[in-house]
Chain A
């Protein structure tokens, strides 16, 4: 990292870099007679106190946010093998695509005749996702993976209301599920009930058989699961659910392991969500924006959110499915993300399978290289990610902080919850063998280092370890 002027960078807020009267932008001059806000509104409605906002010039703004960016790691700067997050390279052509004025300047409420290009992109992406999943119908409305889950489970709820089956009160989630799964079930008005695992870390089919009954609405399964293992009993699982009149929902966070190798429809999945920001590499942006598009069978298609893109003759339109759960967003979804995913798929076509193959090869390579030193709870073929545990007596947290000093972003740690000291490593397909070898060497070296010697880590990152308890105890969330 380049040397920073510490006095002027560390923690200094943009507000504190200015001085009253400085301006960072010039607006066009008023070219019509002035109407004063004071002539329209009574004093009680007008702002009396000037908001305490920065008064800074453009050079200061650019330097401030550029220097802040250098205190942030991204895929562009470091290997970032965060499990279940699919931190792959973000092709820059997608950024170029989202800046094309014909899209960037398009208002969502313009008449549909004026937005045919955008509607075509949506319609085509719906088709692409339908092909990748094997499922008949798609909605691009959900604004993030968690909202894709909510959309799906609300659709399941509405389906049962529609057929008059009022006793479906429970949604099952495996112990390895992302926290969003049980939270989604609650939000959609169901009880979330946990299902245990077998020795492969997969859903315990016997337990499932016992728990599924007329009160079950759905099982939310992640496949491959968050231990990186393919749910080998997926057929049996879907049969158990379908026999009981319930649905199989698939959390598609891990679709990077499936493209061109497995179709959700073949596995008996009724409805699933994609994370376009993961699998199709529309960047994560430091925590959003995303797109949690969903795909479903014909049975559930009428319940999709309002609206979906449709085509009649050579005209594209937005339509409300006839039994729609309603709107999930202000407009039609995160179109910029949709556009990038559409473009990403067009760059790959059927070669999406190579993406999956290389992602799975990379994860298995890391597993094979670590297995003699780290414990691998499910030491069998993994898919696009692998969960490992540090050698006995060592803490995942210490290794994670030690990795920072090797220049690697740590894997996801302490997740899945069922694996003690879990380190969930997802290399993705865009990393070279050399990067993986360096990463493995760092992990092997850290396995050999006493935790006490890592207690000081990180020493080379922008900060040392933080007092997280203090942040909550003495909440200060604004200037």
Chain B
């Protein structure tokens, strides 16, 4: 008998009697395509054996070393209290808050998450999160088409994370490419039939882009401006809402989520008040109960699939409540000063490393362009350099595939690690 089922043989007998059948097999008498054999799966393991296997598989990975890859997921410090709150069973084992009277905890967390995202982006409303950064970008692309009342077609550049662009295209949105020079996008020639203009800042190669220029170009052409922003960077960069962006989206992973080989993370989406009805996904709003006490509830539900079915804004059903909780607890612990410090530490360390590399003759790909904590350097053989770094117990940067290494530096990296990195790269 499976281990998480309480029934004894006696229980089963009594219950079958109540149902009025003889055997468990009889419960499947109505299944015309019954599978009669046994599933061909490895035999059941005890908890200890299973966990031993998990550790064995984990040991087949290379981790626990200083890491210099970013490219959309960052190796940031996660306070212990974040994980400990995520393990509260009341959050971990709840469903979507359809019965608000017994879901006030989760709902308030979402309300706080939305508030923090609104504050960071400088936009009036945020939803309760979407799956990840890429799907936030794709949903934003679809949202621009609904708002601009145009075919779904968006302008992007090589500065947009290429995987985000691929997901936009999978979601059946056409993309047109804007020129990309010296690490930044040229927004001077936005086509006049696009529904949205995307600007990622800092962009995929780390360069801080001109969101104001993107917004101006979008609005001149009757399109919406979508800013794709790293929430850590927003601690020091002007809020996209203040620079004219209509929608801000991005990956919330840097706010307290472990790397965990790419997920689960959480995508965030925020927009201006007038666009709220075109937001996909859940939104939590404030209300009162019958006694007049403040309470929270999912609201503007008529946008969603379970009500509007084929005419819904999106088919999205669940958000990322548990990882949104991580982002909320993380942001609360950091506060405005802590978040700024995370960004500033990363900036100082990244620039220190870039300076050390340049001293040793390594050139930056975009020496004139402003960057925060991620930058690209020219290298003849990235593979060879990364192999040398790995030999020295360091996971190097991302091979861009065109003769450059994209290096991310977080607050976790120490001077010693940075010096060693520069040393090994120079000698590779």
The reply to whether B305 and A74 form a contact with Cβ atoms under 8 Å apart is no
In the assembled complex, B195 has its CB within 8 A of some CB on chain A: no
In the assembled complex, B170 has its CB within 8 A of some CB on chain A: yes
Chain B proximity mask over A320-363: 1 for CB below 8 Å, otherwise 0: 00000111111111111101000101111111111101101110
The reply to whether B73 and A350 form a contact with Cβ atoms under 8 Å apart is no
Chain A proximity mask over B410-423: 1 for CB below 8 Å, otherwise 0: 01001100100000
Chain B contact residues (Cβ within 8 angstroms of A): what range? 35 or more
CB distance from B274 to the nearest CB of A (A): 11
Number of residues from A at the complex interface, CB < 8 A: 201
The reply to whether B315 and A187 form a contact with Cβ atoms under 8 Å apart is yes
The reply to whether A349 and B7 form a contact with Cβ atoms under 8 Å apart is no
In the assembled complex, B391 has its CB within 8 A of some CB on chain A: no
Bound together, the chains give a CA A271 to CA B141 distance in angstroms of: 28
Bound together, the chains give a CA A68 to CA B86 distance in angstroms of: 12
Known A-B contacts A95-B87, A350-B39; A14 and B19 likewise in contact (beta carbons under 8 Å): no
In the assembled complex, A313 has its CB within 8 A of some CB on chain B: no
Of the listed stretches B77-85, B177-185, B359-367, chain A binds B77-85
Q: Which residues of B, 253-300, contact A by the 8 Å Cβ criterion?
A: 258-266, 276, 282-291, 293-297, 299-300
The reply to whether B101 and A466 form a contact with Cβ atoms under 8 Å apart is yes
The reply to whether B30 and A327 form a contact with Cβ atoms under 8 Å apart is no
B20 to chain A: which residues have CB within 8 Å? 368
The reply to whether A464 and B282 form a contact with Cβ atoms under 8 Å apart is no
The reply to whether A10 and B293 form a contact with Cβ atoms under 8 Å apart is yes
The reply to whether A103 and B261 form a contact with Cβ atoms under 8 Å apart is yes
In the assembled complex, B159 has its CB within 8 A of some CB on chain A: no
The reply to whether B88 and A69 form a contact with Cβ atoms under 8 Å apart is yes
The reply to whether A284 and B90 form a contact with Cβ atoms under 8 Å apart is no
Known A-B contacts A10-B294, A68-B108, A349-B41; A471 and B395 likewise in contact (beta carbons under 8 Å): no
The reply to whether B263 and A261 form a contact with Cβ atoms under 8 Å apart is no
A117 to chain B: which residues have CB within 8 Å? 56-61
In the assembled complex, B403 has its CB within 8 A of some CB on chain A: no
Known A-B contacts A76-B92, A105-B64, A467-B289; A65 and B329 likewise in contact (beta carbons under 8 Å): yes
The reply to whether A286 and B96 form a contact with Cβ atoms under 8 Å apart is yes
The reply to whether B90 and A76 form a contact with Cβ atoms under 8 Å apart is yes
CB distance from A422 to the nearest CB of B (A): 13
Q: Which residues of B, 308-357, contact A by the 8 Å Cβ criterion?
A: 308-312, 314-323, 325, 328-329, 331-339, 341-345, 347-349, 351-352
The reply to whether B287 and A430 form a contact with Cβ atoms under 8 Å apart is no
Known A-B contacts A51-B119, A103-B260, A287-B95; A146 and B345 likewise in contact (beta carbons under 8 Å): no
In the assembled complex, A132 has its CB within 8 A of some CB on chain B: yes
Identify B131's interface contact among A30, A144, A348, CB under 8 A.
A144
A11 to chain B: which residues have CB within 8 Å? 108, 293-296
Identify B95's interface contact among A13, A37, A284, CB under 8 A.
A284
In the assembled complex, A33 has its CB within 8 A of some CB on chain B: yes
Bound together, the chains give a CA A433 to CA B293 distance in angstroms of: 38
The reply to whether B297 and A468 form a contact with Cβ atoms under 8 Å apart is yes
Bound together, the chains give a CA A348 to CA B247 distance in angstroms of: 46
B372 to chain A: which residues have CB within 8 Å? 37, 40
In the assembled complex, B238 has its CB within 8 A of some CB on chain A: yes
The reply to whether B318 and A331 form a contact with Cβ atoms under 8 Å apart is no
CB distance from B362 to the nearest CB of A (A): 17
Residue of B nearest to A102 (CB): B58
In the assembled complex, B208 has its CB within 8 A of some CB on chain A: yes
B427 to chain A: which residues have CB within 8 Å? none
Known A-B contacts A58-B333, A108-B261; A283 and B92 likewise in contact (beta carbons under 8 Å): yes
The reply to whether B101 and A179 form a contact with Cβ atoms under 8 Å apart is no
The reply to whether A331 and B351 form a contact with Cβ atoms under 8 Å apart is no
B167 to chain A: which residues have CB within 8 Å? 326-330
Identify A47's interface contact among B57, B236, B251, CB under 8 A.
B236
B169 to chain A: which residues have CB within 8 Å? 326
Residue of A nearest to B29 (CB): A381
Q: What are 18 A-B interface contacts by the 8 Å CB criterion? A: A33-B352, A48-B242, A53-B120, A62-B81, A102-B57, A105-B63, A116-B60, A186-B311, A327-B134, A330-B163, A330-B263, A346-B50, A360-B28, A361-B15, A404-B102, A412-B98, A466-B297, A477-B283
Besides the known contacts A48-B238, A347-B47, 14 further A-B residue pairs in the complex with CB atoms under 8 A apart: A40-B370, A47-B235, A52-B119, A53-B334, A58-B79, A61-B333, A66-B88, A75-B94, A76-B89, A330-B72, A404-B99, A404-B102, A433-B14, A479-B115
